[in-house]
């Protein structure tokens, strides 16, 4: 079944889970890989949420230790793939060079000072958001956040590939973009919308709706700035978008709690 095959290809490409079977790729597989990005995010979210609930209920782990679990697991699951893109894009942006030079910098396998500093700020601040959110929220809210964030960040990942033109005729981003079209958008938004409907039953509709609107705002910012700064998307800017959206969503819930709005 092509949907399952494409999902397994996503697992091979974007996670560290071992899929030993060699899977062939054609035009339809590329399309369905993009269409199942939110399903990949949902699977990661369920894994994170389940682990958190089990650890919170059946171990004496402190809030600090649970925060570390939530903070480190996405890095281990992705193998740092999206963080690598974030560092490369940061190096390129903070070089303040022209678009062509920025693209050359992103191709360089070495990480510069700006990339290191940027990822330190990203990860340290995200840990702060997670820790203080856990201190001030019940397990139901945390579970909703843990499931929602990976879904919405993968929605943006797919939207970047579909809607932002590639900056160059090579690389992973271009490989995806030449096989996909606007027809992928309804498939991308289907699961996030279904989760939104289910959030009504779980009394989390307002929170999820806010997350969804913030995600749309993030994508609009990414769309404009990716074209302005880099001339289009690359695999690195797409990876950076995943990290950026997740950071913004964690900051959103943190700010809401900081000002007693939830």
Distance, in Å, from the CA atom of 212 to the CA atom of 14, rounded to the nearest integer, reads 23
Place of tokens 């171990």: 59
Residues in a beta bridge with 233: 166
3-state helix/strand/coil string of 78-106: HCCHHHHHHHHHHHHHHCCCCHHHHHHHH
Place of tokens 């990203």: 122
Look at residue 259 in the predicted model and tell me its pLDDT: 82
What stretches of the chain show up as alpha helix (H) in DSSP? Answer: 2-14, 27-35, 37-58, 63-78, 81-94, 99-107, 113-136, 139-163, 171-177, 184-201, 205-230, 235-258
End-to-end CA distance of the chain: 43
Look at residue 200 in the predicted model and tell me its pLDDT: 75
Q: Which value, in Å, is the radius of gyration of the alpha carbons in the chain?
A: 18
Distance, in Å, from the CA atom of 151 to the CA atom of 42, rounded to the nearest integer, reads 5
Question: Which stretches of the chain score pLDDT less than 70?
Answer: 201-203, 261-262
**DSSP type of residue 194:** H
Look at residue 53 in the predicted model and tell me its pLDDT: 96
């Amino acid at each position: 079944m092509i949907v399952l095959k494409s999902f397994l290809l996503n697992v091979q490409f974007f996670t560290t889970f071992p899929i030993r079977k060699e899977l062939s790729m054609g035009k339809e597989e590329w399309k369905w890989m993009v269409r199942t990005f939110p399903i990949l995010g949902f699977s990661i979210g369920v894994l994170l949420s389940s682990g958190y609930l089990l650890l919170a209920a059946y171990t004496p782990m402190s809030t600090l230790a649970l925060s570390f679990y939530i903070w480190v697991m996405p890095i281990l699951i992705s193998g740092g793939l999206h963080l690598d893109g974030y560092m490369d894009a940061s190096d390129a942006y903070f070089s303040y060079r022209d678009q062509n030079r920025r693209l050359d910098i992103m191709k360089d396998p070495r990480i510069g000072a700006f990339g290191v500093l940027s990822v330190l700020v990203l990860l340290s601040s995200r840990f702060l958001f997670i820790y203080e959110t856990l201190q001030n929220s019940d397990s139901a809210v945390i579970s909703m956040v843990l499931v929602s964030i990976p879904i919405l960040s993968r929605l943006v990942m797919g939207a970047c590939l579909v809607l932002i033109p590639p900056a160059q005729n090579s690389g992973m981003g271009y490989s995806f973009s030449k096989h996909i079209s606007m027809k992928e958008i309804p498939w991308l938004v289907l699961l996030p919308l279904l989760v939104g409907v289910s959030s009504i039953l779980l009394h989390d509709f307002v929170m999820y709706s806010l997350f969804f609107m913030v995600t749309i705002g993030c994508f609009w910012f990414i769309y404009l700035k990716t074209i302005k700064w880099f001339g289009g998307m690359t695999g690195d800017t797409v990876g950076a978008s995943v990290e950026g959206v997740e950071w913004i969503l964690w900051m959103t819930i943190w700010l809401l709690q900081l000002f007693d709005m939830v």
